[in-house]
Amino acid sequence: MDTTTLSAVRRQISSAHGLPNEHYTSQAVFNEEREALMMAGWSGLAVAADVQAPGDAVPLTFLGIPLLLIRDRSGIVRVFHNICRHRGMILVDAPRKIEGAIRCPYHSWCYSTEGRLVSTPHVGGPGQNTAEGIDKSLLGLIEVRSHIWMDVVWINLSGDAHPFETANADLIARWAEFDKPLYHGGSDSRFQLTVNCNWKLAVENYCESYHLPWVHPDLNVYSRLEDHYHIEAPGRYSGQGTRVYRQLTDDKGGMFPDFAGLSNKWDTAAEYITAYPNVLLGVHRDHAFAIILVPQGPGQTVENIHLYYAQPDTDPALRMRNTTQWKQVFEEDIFVVEGMQRGRRTPAFDGGRFSPAMDGPTHLFHSWVADRMMAHRATTNACE
Ligand code: FES
Ligand SMILES: [Fe+2]
């Protein structure tokens, strides 16, 4: 692999190039990134609101890996590999409520919602439910490390990342004022977009406000280019903020209630941050949102979008208006991320250049990718 090209990404912004084409088009590089960027650290998988009540279980495929998101009987959200310890059968193949145990449909081995193997019928022959060598205490479901913050279920598939609170300490501190109950708006406050682009293009576009005047003319009317500021935490997260957030109102002037105890800054500010690698977050005085990017392959990404409020019983009509407004904004971005993806099919593209004034947060993301990939390649090559 050509690490010289990645070196060009890590230069200072005025002379840096963007990531080479193969980071958007090649299955081999996608697989490397899957390990180096997604599995090695904390990636967003879903939201805790996807499993509201004890026993709720949702099978998910993330990076090709079959996982099971479940809220156990005691209310703890857990993530397991969605496979039976007997012959590897998929345990749950559609969202459902687990009433008793998770029963494998193949030979009926049963697991508790906490992952314990509780029964192995006829495993020692007809009528014999135990067998030598089959130690139930060693054959529970394989759990994936997980952590919930901003209602996002973050997972560390490699199992050896620093604890989430350490890895993301400064972002957690930055938004400490929002570290309080976030209420998912329910079925009117979630939607999904499938975009034909690499997941990184969605991140890169989200990080910058440079495109606002041309891609989001409606937003730009009140939140202009000059009202925005960069958010830059090298190696961890980046994004942008606005100083002129305006609350949505209904016909009678009604608004969403504010999150309690916010400082003055949030009277008019809003911030939009990518927690590397794949979670796009937004906070405002009266609502927040999370977008989980689920890579489907080098050229396709599913975006799962969820909106949150300060109280559980907000006005459904106003909520719907908010969802519609954000959906419009995110749909306006599709043609540019898909256009950039198509552009990466020409070998003439050299990764492009960055505006030193406007593209800082995007360049930081590129540098993070380049750093991680170079470190990953150094270890993989050293092992060969
Ligand atoms: S594969 Fe699950 S019980 Fe046999
Ligand atoms: Fe945009």
* Residue carrying structure tokens 């407004």: 325
Q: Say if pTM beats, i.e. exceeds, 0.75.
A: yes
pLDDT at position 223, please?
Answer: 79
Report residue 250: phi and psi, to 5°. -90, -175
pLDDT band at 357 (very low <50, low <70, confident <90, very high): very high
Kindly state the average pLDDT of the residues 215-229. Answer: 86
| Cβ-proximal residues to 119 (8 Å cutoff; 6+ apart), any chain | 101, 108, 109, 110, 129
Scanning the chain, the segments in alpha helix (DSSP H) are: 3-9, 22-25, 27-33, 164-167, 169-174, 199-207, 212-215, 217-222, 265-268, 316-332, 334-343, 360-383
Q: Which two tokens stand for residue 307?
A: 């909106």
383 pLDDT above the threshold of 70: no
Give 157 or 5, the one with higher predicted confidence: 157
Kindly state the average pLDDT of the residues 71-77. Answer: 98
Kindly state the average pLDDT of the residues 116-132. Answer: 97
pLDDT at position 221, please?
Answer: 79
243 pLDDT above the threshold of 80: yes
pLDDT at position 384, please?
Answer: 55
pLDDT at position 4, please?
Answer: 54
Q: For residue range 156-180, what is the model confidence (pLDDT) as tens digits?
A: 999 999 999 999 999 999 999 999 9
Q: In what order do the strands lie in the sheet with 96-97?
A: 43-47, 152-156, 143-149, 77-81, 65-71, 56-62, 96-97
Q: What is the DSSP letter of 71?
A: E
Kindly state if the Cβ of 106 falls inside 6 Å of ligand 1.
yes
Q: Which residues hold their Cβ within 5 A of ligand 2, which is an ion?
A: 333
Burial 83-111 (b: 16+ CB within 10 A, else e): bbbbeeeebbeeeeebeebbbbeeeebbb
222 pLDDT above the threshold of 90: no
Q: For residue range 248-276, what is the model confidence (pLDDT) as tens digits?
A: 999 899 999 999 999 999 999 999 999 99
pLDDT at position 61, please?
Answer: 98
Look at residue 164 and give its three-state secondary structure: helix
Ligand 1 atom with the shortest distance to the CA of 87: 1
pLDDT at position 355, please?
Answer: 97
pLDDT band at 239 (very low <50, low <70, confident <90, very high): very high
382 pLDDT above the threshold of 90: no
For ligand 1, atom 4: residue with the closest CA: 107
Give 221 or 185, the one with higher predicted confidence: 185
Kindly state the average pLDDT of the residues 91-99. Answer: 98
Look at residue 335 and give its three-state secondary structure: helix
pLDDT band at 380 (very low <50, low <70, confident <90, very high): confident
For ligand 1, atom 3: residue with the closest CA: 107
Pocket test for ligand 1, best of 80, 81, 82, 84 (most atoms within 8 A of CB): 84
CA distance 308 to 182: 6
Distance 135 CA to ligand 1 centre (A): 15
3 pLDDT above the threshold of 60: no
Distance 210 CA to ligand 2 centre (A): 9
Q: For residues 247 and 275, is the Cβ–Cβ distance under 8 A?
A: no
Nearest to 22 by CA among 262, 370, 383: 370
Look at residue 192 and give its three-state secondary structure: strand
218 pLDDT above the threshold of 90: no
Ligand nearest to the CA of 110: 1
pLDDT at position 1, please?
Answer: 40
Q: What percent of the chain has pLDDT over 90?
A: 95
Domains annotated for the chain, with CATH where assigned, are: 7-38+177-375 (3.90.380.10), 51-145 (2.102.10.10)
Kindly state if the Cβ of 122 falls inside 6 Å of ligand 1.
no
Task: State the CB neighbour count (10 A cutoff) for residue 160.
Answer: 9
Kindly state the average pLDDT of the residues 204-216. Answer: 94
Kindly state if the Cβ of 83 falls inside 6 Å of ligand 1.
no
CA distance 191 to 176: 27
Q: For residues 184 and 287, is the Cβ–Cβ distance under 8 A?
A: no
